[in-house]
Structure 1
Amino acid sequence: MSDLETHPIVYTAKFSDADEASSLLSSSYATVRLEPLTGSSFDFEVSGLKLPDLDIYRSGSTTGLSFKSVEHFDGFTFSSMRCGALEVVSAAAAHIVSDNLDLAIDAKTVDTLFMSRQSAFCGLAISAKAIQKGLEERINDAAPRRLSFKSPWTPLQISSSYIGLCDILYEGFRGGGHLENNPIAVRNMQDALINLIVYGVEHNYSEALAAGSLEAPALIRRAIDYMHAHAHLPISTVDIAQELRVGVRTLQLSFQRWAETTPHHYLRSIRLKLARRDLLDGSGAPVGVVAKRWGFNSPGEFARLYHLAFDEKPAHVFRRELDRK
């Protein structure tokens, strides 16, 4: 999980105005629009804890309401009802969350949520970045495909465990709680939440986790080996395909099936990781030099891609490493 680079935020709010509730959730989660149910007044309570890459929340409504996604949260949500019912609607299906049915879902697929009257639920939202990083650490390999759950339902023993951990985290930060000055304990509990999810809920990486590694097809392995060996050179997808003696389309389809990306984007991710390694090695090489070394001729584009990949600017990394000398 990410280091606690920002102070955890504990929040509690009660709303009778849908626009005010929408504004709060949009600032802390993703852009959403809350609306009352037809012919109903609006009542919504929410409390929670926001950590880097992780949001724990408890919500309730006596009137019922709907959440509509304007922008999707890039991560995964886990919901458990305490009373009432929650309907989660995506492009693929609609799921009703009620007693003894706890939901695990990719938030990028969710369009609308409906809370019934007299309902309350607790939940957990984890960024896709944190999940993918956790997977890679546990399989000792790249996790190029997005996590995909085989069932939307969380086993009850897993949901009861993550709810327990969430409660400990939430209470530990309330009103000067015991976790405020204990970042190691917080990171351990964040790691425990990742373990519960990646080992306890069946998904497309479950077999790789059991085996301890992710076995790529031979063509992909050869392509990746070639990319690593020649990342410092101006190679293209055509060059890789010629080296492997396959057609460009065959190579592209293979990467799409295995990694859900293109050879070009996979090579770019390798180069970004190599550039990050050089910025962190303490050699003092300027950002522009490192960028050009790994094939990024536009400093602005390199900075943008680096920030997207690592959630920090390369110039900040450069200055931080200089200050450590």
Structure 2
Amino acid sequence: MTTPTFADLHVTDVGRVDAQLPPDVHLDHVPTAPFAFHTHRVTRGPLAVEQTHATDGIRLRLPDRPSYQFGVPVRGPLHADHRGEELDLGPGDAAVFSPWPETTVVTGDRFDLMVVDVGSAALEDMLEALLGRAVPRPLRLPTSMAVGTAVGRMWADMVRLVADTTADTAAVLTNPMSAEPLQDTLLVRLLLATDHAHRDALDERVPTFGPRAVRRCVDYIEDHPERPLTLAGLAADAGLSIRALEGCWLRHREVRPGHDVGRVRLGRAHRDLQFHRPGETTVTAVARSWGFRPQPFVAAYGMRFGHPPGQTLRGPVFA
């Protein structure tokens, strides 16, 4: 079980900038007050998301390691030097850095930048799980990708969700029931947003099979809703690719697998709310224990049961 780590750094003292900034970050010029540098980093298994914003431009060195790294400018320009190629990008595009070569990123003043680090094996394994076949490694990715397209925005929004500093996000990332599917979805959306030799294959139709594999997966979900149920895991157990399993699910149940996972977990949350008395737990605690964010949980619960979850917790006298 992977436990996430969270790290924050906030520097405002101009006189101590050199001593307080990370060793891989250098200012492009001598700072003057008011100065501010803030970075928030979330690391979980093969995935790391770091969001940094500052009043002054920086020169950031990304280490050479076996991971794909993505520089996403949220505000201000980004200049990068990677494998001898220079890139100049702004919001709406992301720089793509392949494994191993050391990379230098330079920002302008008053910038906001997200850097996403994805272990190469994790991304390549996910592509193979989607396709149901082996692919050459490492993947040959272009040096930039558009995040202004529909699928690019979906990926970037998920990255922002991971980088969010609220308690809800921390709870989602700490609970494997919600963190594992979130991580897998981020990898899938990344593979759909960027160009590579197998991109067209992800849009091709896949053959679907009889309902037996789907029925077996639904039984497993019913029996083990507390486990980190991911599409990749369910597909591997069924002996199918992710795309084939999803196609079978849509054909035989007319919903996606995530719908059944949410349905079963919502039922378990309902049972927990019935079991506990007021003061023994809260709606938020129950929602998070089953991998839900509190606000979407309240909305989904109301649609399913016809009344808010707090009413169930208070008991039938309030129905």
Query: If the length of structure 2 is used for normalisation, what is the TM-score?
Result: 0.55
* Residue 183 in structure 1 maps to residue 176 in structure 2: yes
Q: Is the CA contact (8 Å cut-off) linking 2:80 and 2:105 kept in structure 1?
A: yes
**Equivalent in the alignment of 1:59:** 52
> What residue identity is the alignment partner of 2:52?
S
1:37 is displaced (CA, Å) by: 0.9
**Equivalent in the alignment of 2:22:** 22
Unaligned segments of structure 2, at least 5 residues = 207-319
CA distance in 2, matches of 1:67, 1:206: 30
- TM-superposition CA deviations, 1:209-265 (whole Å, max 9, x none): 45589xxxxxxxxxxxxxxxxxxxxxxxxxxxxxxxxxxxxxxxxxxxxxxxxxxxx
Q: Is the CA contact (8 Å cut-off) linking 2:145 and 2:195 kept in structure 1?
A: no
CA distance in 2, matches of 1:64, 1:176: 28
Rate the CA distance shift 1:113–1:104 in 2: closer, same or farther, 3 A: same
Q: Is the CA contact (8 Å cut-off) linking 2:75 and 2:91 kept in structure 1?
A: yes
> What residue identity is the alignment partner of 1:198?
L
**Equivalent in the alignment of 2:115:** 123
1:19 is displaced (CA, Å) by: 5.2
> What residue identity is the alignment partner of 1:168?
L
**Equivalent in the alignment of 2:26:** 35
Rate the CA distance shift 1:118–1:37 in 2: closer, same or farther, 3 A: same
1:99 is displaced (CA, Å) by: 2.5
1:196 is displaced (CA, Å) by: 0.8
Unaligned segments of structure 1, at least 5 residues = 24-32, 214-325
Give 1:138's match in structure 2, choosing from 126, 130, 134: 130
Rate the CA distance shift 1:211–1:110 in 2: closer, same or farther, 3 A: farther
- TM-superposition CA deviations, 1:188-222 (whole Å, max 9, x none): 11111111111221112224445589xxxxxxxxx
SS of corresponding position for 2:100: helix
* Residue 11 in structure 1 maps to residue 7 in structure 2: yes
* Residue 160 in structure 1 maps to residue 153 in structure 2: yes
1:110 is displaced (CA, Å) by: 4.5
Give 1:76's match in structure 2, choosing from 68, 92, 97: 68
* Equivalent residues, number: 199
SS of corresponding position for 1:99: coil
1:105 is displaced (CA, Å) by: 2.8
CA distance in 1, matches of 2:94, 2:56: 22
Query: If the length of structure 1 is used for normalisation, what is the TM-score?
Result: 0.54
* Residue 45 in structure 1 maps to residue 57 in structure 2: no
Q: Is the CA contact (8 Å cut-off) linking 1:10 and 1:174 kept in structure 2?
A: no
CA distance in 2, matches of 1:201, 1:176: 26
Rate the CA distance shift 1:20–1:74 in 2: closer, same or farther, 3 A: farther
1:88 is displaced (CA, Å) by: 1.0
Q: CA RMSD in A?
A: 2.8
1:181 is displaced (CA, Å) by: 5.3
Rate the CA distance shift 1:166–1:152 in 2: closer, same or farther, 3 A: closer
Rate the CA distance shift 1:176–1:121 in 2: closer, same or farther, 3 A: closer
1:148 is displaced (CA, Å) by: 1.5
Rate the CA distance shift 1:11–1:175 in 2: closer, same or farther, 3 A: farther
1:125 is displaced (CA, Å) by: 1.6
> What residue identity is the alignment partner of 1:96?
D
CA distance in 2, matches of 1:186, 1:110: 30
CA distance in 2, matches of 1:17, 1:172: 24
Q: Is the CA contact (8 Å cut-off) linking 2:161 and 2:169 kept in structure 1?
A: no
1:131 is displaced (CA, Å) by: 0.7
SS of corresponding position for 2:172: coil
Q: Is the CA contact (8 Å cut-off) linking 1:18 and 1:34 kept in structure 2?
A: no
* Residue 195 in structure 1 maps to residue 188 in structure 2: yes
